Amino acid sequence: MSDPASLGILAFEGFEELDAIGPYEVFQNARTAGADWTVDLLATDETDRVTAAYDLRVEPDGALTGDAALDYLVVPGGGWNDGDETTGARALARDEHVLDAIRALHDNGAAVLSVCTGAMVLEAAGLLDGRPAVTHRSALDDLRETDADVVDARVVDDGDVLTAGGITAGIDAALWLVEREWGHEIAFDVEDAMEYERSTDVYRE
């Protein structure tokens, strides 16, 4: 019997709550519906607690490392448009330790999904160069200044790199990933259980 797939959601100081918790609930519901994966919240360093953008405090399951046995990594956004370089996605996009870990995981075969301005973190890691991508609408101009190919869609699937628009789009992206990996029936069961009507605005080449 094979081991379950492993999915990590990055929880860093100042992350946007719904960017991470929305997908977390989708993925855990998918487990209940039959998806064979584990779901963990991962801090950027070993710590007992991480404080999100609106002061929600979470206890991570572990810390992100480049040699982790992850099949999927979710990178939320948070605070990008505040311009604060000391916390949130802007700080994360300048953290070479985290960027190196993201690059290493991707190089080792992990599919990476960003939510909202988490796309700017993937861009800083070099994962969006020449790829279709989207981010929160208020950060689209920033993304257009990079080598990413900005797409008008709620979810963009480029195989091993996926991006979602702002905040609640993370739920749509998570449901899309569930459907892509585990099938329509499980995705529908999750959507139904959560009483959520997801967007079908998915760009996929």
Residues recognised as catalytic: 116
Is 2's pLDDT higher than 80?
Answer: no
Please, which residues have CB within 8 angstroms of residue 205's CB and are 6 or more apart in sequence? 132, 158
Task: Please provide residue 63's backbone torsions phi and psi, each rounded to the nearest 5 degrees.
Answer: -120, 150
**165 falls in which pLDDT band (50, 70, 90)?**
very high
Q: What is the pLDDT of residue 153?
A: 98
Q: What is the pLDDT of residue 205?
A: 82
Does residue 129 contact residue 147 with C-beta atoms inside 8 Å? yes
> What is the chain's mean pLDDT, rounded?
97
Fold of the domain built from segment(s) 5-200: Rossmann fold (3.40.50)
Mean pLDDT of 195-205: 96
Is 195's pLDDT higher than 90?
Answer: yes
Q: What is the pLDDT of residue 1?
A: 54
* CA pseudo-torsion sign 12, 14, 15, 21: positive
Q: What is the pLDDT of residue 22?
A: 98
Tokens standing for residue 53: 């953008």
Domain ranges of the chain: 5-200
Does residue 11 contact residue 20 with C-beta atoms inside 8 Å? yes
- What does the pLDDT look like over 109-138, one tens digit per residue? 999 999 999 999 999 999 999 999 999 999
Q: What is the pLDDT of residue 83?
A: 87
Tell me the DSSP string of 122-147: HHHTT-STTSEE---GGGHHHHHTTT
